[in-house]
Amino acid sequence: MLDNLTQRLGRVVKNLRGQARLTDENISDMLREVRMALLEADVALPVVKDFIARVKEKALGQEVIGSLTPGQALVGVVHRELTELMGGASSGLNLATQPPAVILMSGLQGAGKTTTTAKLGKWLKERQKKKVLTVSCDVYRPAAIEQLKAVSTQAGIDFFPSTAGQKPADIAAAALDHAKRHYYDVIFVDTAGRLAIDEAMMAEIKDLHALLKPIETLFVVDAMLGQDAVNTAKAFNEALPLTGVILTKLDGDSRGGAALSVRHVTGKPIKFAGVGEKLTGLEEFHPERMASRILGMGDILGLVEDAQRGVDQDKAQEFVKKMKSGKGFDLNDFKDQIGQMKKMGGMAAMLDKLPAQFSAMAQKAGGGMEDKTVRRLEGIINSMTPGERSKPEIIKANRKRRIATGAGVSVQEVNRLLNQFEQTQKMMKQFSKRGMQKMMRGMKG
């Protein structure tokens, strides 16, 4: 996800950190790089201009220039401004109403509305123990109704049947009535999307909105559409009182621009991100963590959460404890984590959350083929003794050669793994010592 943007900004960040002095010249160089990276990522021009202006103003301010480590301070500014750009604080779903909480799903056809409805329903059922009902008002495509039924069943949530012969408003009213009488906590109303913005579609969803008075009106948009995603978001936002946005397909080769522009253009929070076709491919959207990821700093908190959700709860707990104490996290844990990651359905999401230097290494080793990368890393770690895994620093040159032979890789790869692991460990220690917030503040110098 967002690989190019992360690579480019990661490079800027790396260069900046090393700058002992900031001059007009290196500040403008940096701003030019950031500007180009954002434009290439398909961030809307007015958003880029505004962003650059804010960073520039702060870069020339006392906080940065007067800092002992101005390079780092400037990285801190970029991080904070990116976070702000994506909405600052994260905001979950608002269900604070007399049940059932009605959630109206809007968006163009193919955006991922139906899939996201099931993902969110599953999320609410499993994490918040909500009783969830879904209904489709897409009377134009009978296949859409069938699809919602199929994914709802798969998600383990209830589905209210409808047919192509009915009026959308009648379906919605009947479903709402059913939800009330059967004490549902949440009802998702999936609507018809068209291929492009269309008067009739907008009028229909406005009527549904007036009828249902939803507490959440979510706009689902395909992040891969880049600038178009932003334009559609704008149009829907003008037609409907949206309460939030869900960006889908952030796992694809989206250039990331939508993630950075949508909030600025609509003023509405991005609440969730779709990161896969499977029903588990959904993440809460945290601007601060996303900014860290984009800048190649990794998303340690996200990793911890994934670990907590891991299949083996005991091991996950142990891992979290170690992360928090900053003590004793070693390659044995890493090995366990890899095992769990595989169980948790793949590597891509996980790699995204690792600090750039680490995931870049993994990517390089495997040429972007994540599962292969994992097997190589695992092979290397498996070729070590438990003692070596807990104290990698005892591994001498001849052992490295043996480990490499055992794993069928080069000695350089073994070295790379060890170096990167050391870095990650350092970072975790720093993280646990001061907490993420403080770490960010620490970057100001």
Kindly determine how many residues on this chain lie close enough to bind ligand GDP according to the rule CB under 6 A.
18
- Helix locations, 168-299, DSSP H: 168-181, 199-212, 227-239, 257-266, 287-294
Output 140 or 207, the one with its CB closest to ligand GDP.
140
Q: What's the rounded Cα separation, in Å, for the pair 58 and 48?
A: 16
Residue with tokens 């408003």: 169
Q: Which residue number, 78 or 347, has a Cβ lying nearer to ligand GDP? A: 347
- Please report whether residue 193 would count as binding ligand GDP according to CB under 6 A: yes
275 versus 316: smaller Cβ distance to ligand GDP: 275
CA angle 242, 244, 246 (to 5 degrees): 125
Q: Which of residues 124-153 bind ligand GDP (CB under 6 A)?
A: none
Number of residues assigned to the chain: 445
Q: How far is the CB of 194 from ligand GDP (least distance, A)?
A: 10
Whether the Cβ atoms of residue 153 and residue 68 lie closer than 8 Å to each other: no
Considering only residues 248 to 267 of the shown chain, the ones binding ligand GDP according to CB under 6 A are 248-249, 251-252
**For residues 23 and 148, what is the distance between their CA atoms, to the nearest angstrom?**
57
**Side by side, which strands form the sheet with 132-136?**
158-160, 132-136, 186-190, 101-106, 216-222, 244-248, 270-274, 282-284
For 331, half-sphere exposure in the C-beta direction (CA atoms, 13 angstrom radius) is 27
Which residue stretch of 25-33, 64-72, 271-279, 311-319 sits at the interface with ligand GDP (rule: CB under 6 A)?
271-279
Q: Work out whether 233 is an interface residue with ligand GDP (CB under 6 A).
A: no
Residue 301 CB, shortest distance to ligand GDP, in Å, is: 21
114 binds ligand GDP (CB under 6 A): yes
**CB closer to ligand GDP, 161 vs 435:** 161
Alpha-carbon distance values, 222 to 127, 172, 191, 274 (Å):
25, 25, 16, 9
CB 132 within 8 A of CB 188: yes
Binding residues for GTP: 107-114, 190-194, 248-251
H or E element that contains 135: strand 132-136
The minimum distance between CB 348 and ligand GDP, in angstroms, equals: 10
Write the binding mask 74 to 113 for ligand GDP: x where contact by CB under 6 A, - elsewhere: ---------------------------------x-xxxxx
In the complex, residue closest to ligand GDP by CB: 274
- Name the site residues for ligand GDP (rule: CB under 6 A): 107, 109-115, 193, 248-249, 251-252, 274-277, 281
